[in-house]
Structure formats: C-alpha cells, structure tokens
C-alpha cells in the first residue's frame, strides 16, 4: 500500500470524474431548463413522446448530481487524513487550513458574481439582496430557502461542507466513546431516517421538491461524508480497508432503483456514497485506475482544478443557455450540446483561477501557520476514532 504520508494520486482522477459528472448535469439543466425526469405516480416518467424523447434518452446524465456524493466521500477521507497528519496543530490549525483552502477563492468568486453576473447582480437598494449577499459571505445561505440557490446554485454544497467541518469535533468525540462501527450505525440510522421520512412525505403529499428543512441540513449528508473518514482511518493505520468487499454491481443497481422510485428517491445520494466508498477502498488497495493512462492523466488535472471549476461553471452555463435561448430560440438539445462544448473554456478559466487564487491562498495559509509562535504542546493520546492527536 502507498505510504500514508505521500500524496494519494488515485484520488485526483476521482475528483476529476466527480466534477465532470456535475458539469454534464448542469449542462442538462442549462439546455432543457430541468435536470430530472418528471414523476408519473411513484415512478419516473420514461415517456418517449415527441416533446420528451431526447431528454428521456439522456436519462443517464441526470445521475450527474451524484458527483457531489463522490466529492463528499473524498472530502471525508481527505479531511480526516489531513487532521491526523497534522495532530500538533490541533483544531486551530485544522480550521485555519480549511479556511485558506476554501474561503478566499470562494469570496473572490462570490464578489465578482454578485456585482457583475446578469440576473444575479446585487441591487444595493434592496434589503433582500443585501441579506442574500451577506448570507453567502458568511456561508450561512442554507438557513433560508430564498438564499440556498441564490447568486450561484452550486454554492449550496459549500455551506454544507462548512457545517460538516463544524460537526467534525463531535464526530471525533463520538468515535472516542463508541468506535467506528457504532458511530457509523448511529449516523446511518439518523441520515437514512431523515431521508426515509422525506421520501414518504413528498410521496404522500404529491410534492416534486424536497422541503427546505431537509435538503438544507448538514445532518442529511453526515453519514455519507463520514464513510470517507472511516476509510482514511483504516488507511492510516494500515488496517484492512472497510467496504472493499462490497458489491459494486449491487450498489449500482440499488442507486438506479432508488433514483426511479419516488418513495426511495432520497436514498439515492446515500447509496451512491456507499458505492463510492467501495470503489475508493478498492482503488486504495490496488493503486490502479481502471482506465487508460491518458484519460486518468487528464482527469487528474481536472481533479486538481475541480474546486475552481465548481465555483464558476454553473453560472456560466446558465447565462449562456438563457442568452442563446432568448436570442436565437435554439432547441434544447442544441443548447445542451453548446454547453458541453464549453468544457475546454471552463477548464482553461479554472486552471487560471487555481494558479491565481487557490494556490496563493493555500500558500498564505501555510505561511500563517508557520508564523504562529511555538506553543507548549501537551501530547494526549485521545484515541479519537483511532487517531492519536496532540492538543496545543
């Protein structure tokens, strides 16, 4: 197995795959002004009627949003790994690294979009727009339904990630007392309980959208995220990796079934996260990707720039899709194809943002951490889920 102190190269193509899935999914939304097949009773409407034939044939693309599930599992792995590799910095260092990795690039993109993006630009004469901007600037835009998808709809998951970071010490505390198995069972029952209730609620009430109080809650994703952290813990301790023996076929089938059956639809994210954990465990064991080298090399680069891609791609797609639709009245499939063709341009822009925003922000974070005055450290073997930490 690869040394636990080295960069884990197989994760970069996973990030690249995840952002490519998300990009194609948002191309679908920009082209067709919808991103899922409608419900026909408790099942998806697979009608091949003339007005829907093309969208039905593009059904596999509607699974692109599950790239976020892949991101969450990879995030859980990397966050737990990062914390365990830097124990002497404690929670202060942990949150400092997270801040400089995420927030400065996010804030710059947010300000640019809020001031310049047509249709999303802030009107400073409206108090509601001020609240919209400030909710995003403070990463609490998941606290109100009017804020969640404002300015840039993709920003919703960044607020979720930040909340999960805030919950991370609670996860470590639970692991200290319960261990991994019981903690994951507890989190799994909680997440699946919320999702099961939501599935019942939207089905019995004939709703097509998940109520805000559910979809905006970090608890809705906590178990899925923690699967990656469990993998990281076993990887660090050179233990047999959990989930590696799971069936990729079974969990793929379960994911598809959940996606097309309304009462089960909210389980789709969780089954996709479990599927991701199984795939990641096997990749970590073999350190080999089941794809040609040229493709894995490209996806690794895409994975490196994935955060910048995530920050900017959806508003670009929506802006161009709406503009083309209004000016030339092109049909949806052509707009979808045009959005897909923007991939190289989005990559080029994101590469620039990575070098101009992300890297300087990370370097600043490293400098700030090094500049901290040395403090007396008390070594404490707290067995926080199997990770020995040093508390400053």
Quick: pLDDT tens for 316-353: 999 999 889 888 888 899 999 999 999 999 999 999 99
Average pLDDT over residues 85-105: 89
State yes or no: pLDDT of 356 exceeds 60: yes
Separation between Cα atoms, residue 81 and residue 79, nearest integer Å: 5
State yes or no: pLDDT of 245 exceeds 80: yes
Per-residue pLDDT band for 371 (boundaries 50, 70, 90) equals confident
In sequence order, the 6+-apart residues with CB closer than 8 A to the CB of 10 are 283, 284, 287, 288, 289
Identify the pLDDT of residue 368: 86
What pLDDT, in 10s, does the model give residues 66-89? 999 999 999 999 999 989 887 777
Helices assigned H by DSSP within the chain = 11-32, 53-57, 67-85, 90-116, 127-137, 145-148, 156-204, 212-215, 222-236, 248-260, 268-286, 293-304, 306-328, 332-341, 343-353, 359-371
Separation between Cα atoms, residue 26 and residue 15, nearest integer Å: 17
Q: What percent of the chain has pLDDT over 90?
A: 69
Average pLDDT over residues 299-307: 95
What pLDDT, in 10s, does the model give residues 41-72? 999 999 888 678 899 999 999 999 999 999 99
Q: Phi, psi at residue 330, to the nearest 5°?
A: -70, 155
195 versus 52: the higher-pLDDT residue is 195
C-alpha distance across the termini of the chain, in Å: 31
Per-range mean pLDDT, top range of 141-155, 184-198, 283-297, 373-387: 184-198
State yes or no: pLDDT of 293 exceeds 90: no
State yes or no: pLDDT of 294 exceeds 60: yes
Per-residue pLDDT band for 125 (boundaries 50, 70, 90) equals confident
Q: Which of 269, 266, 268, 263 is CA-nearest to residue 203?
A: 263
Identify the pLDDT of residue 5: 56
Separation between Cα atoms, residue 170 and residue 219, nearest integer Å: 12
């Amino acid at each position: 197995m690869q040394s636990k102190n080295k960069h884990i190269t197989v994760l970069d193509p996973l990030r690249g795959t995840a952002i490519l899935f998300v990009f194609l999914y948002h191309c679908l939304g920009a082209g067709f002004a919808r991103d899922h097949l409608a419900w026909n009773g408790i099942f998806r409407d697979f009608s091949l009627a003339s007005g829907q034939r093309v969208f039905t044939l593009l059904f596999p693309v509607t699974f692109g949003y599950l790239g976020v599930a892949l991101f969450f599992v990879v995030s859980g792995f990397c966050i737990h790994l990062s914390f365990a590799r830097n124990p002497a910095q404690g929670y202060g260092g942990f949150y400092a690294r997270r801040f400089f990795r995420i927030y400065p690039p996010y804030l710059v993109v947010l300000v640019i979009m809020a001031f310049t993006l047509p249709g999303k630009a802030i009107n400073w004469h409206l108090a509601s727009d001020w609240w919209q901007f400030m909710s995003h600037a403070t990463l609490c835009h998941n606290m109100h339904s009017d804020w969640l998808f404002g300015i840039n709809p993709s920003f919703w998951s960044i607020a979720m990630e930040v909340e999960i970071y805030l919950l991370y010490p609670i996860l470590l505390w639970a692991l200290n007392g319960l261990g991994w198995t019981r903690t994951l069972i507890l989190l799994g029952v909680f997440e699946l309980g919320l999702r099961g209730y939501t599935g019942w609620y939207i089905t019995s009430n004939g709703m097509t959208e998940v109520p805000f109080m559910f979809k905006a809650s970090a608890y809705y994703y906590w178990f899925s995220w923690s699967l990656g952290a469990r993998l990281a813990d076993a990887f660090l301790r050179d233990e047999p990796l959990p989930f590696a023996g799971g069936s990729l076929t079974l969990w793929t089938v379960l994911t598809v079934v959940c996606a097309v059956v309304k009462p089960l639809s909210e389980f789709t994210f969780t089954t996709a996260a479990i599927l991701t954990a199984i795939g990641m465990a096997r990749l970590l064991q073999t350190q080999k990707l089941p794809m040609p080298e040229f493709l894995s090399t490209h996806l690794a680069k895409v994975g490196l720039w994935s955060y910048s891609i995530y920050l900017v791609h959806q508003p670009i797609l929506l802006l161009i899709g709406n503009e083309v639709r209004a000016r030339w009245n092109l049909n949806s499939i052509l707009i979808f194809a045009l959005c897909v063709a923007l991939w190289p341009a989005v990559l080029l822009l994101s590469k620039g943002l990575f070098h101009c925003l992300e890297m300087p922000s990370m370097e600043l974070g490293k400098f700030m951490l090094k500049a901290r005055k040395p403090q007396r450290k008390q070594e404490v073997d707290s067995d926080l889920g199997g990770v020995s930490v040093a508390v400053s």
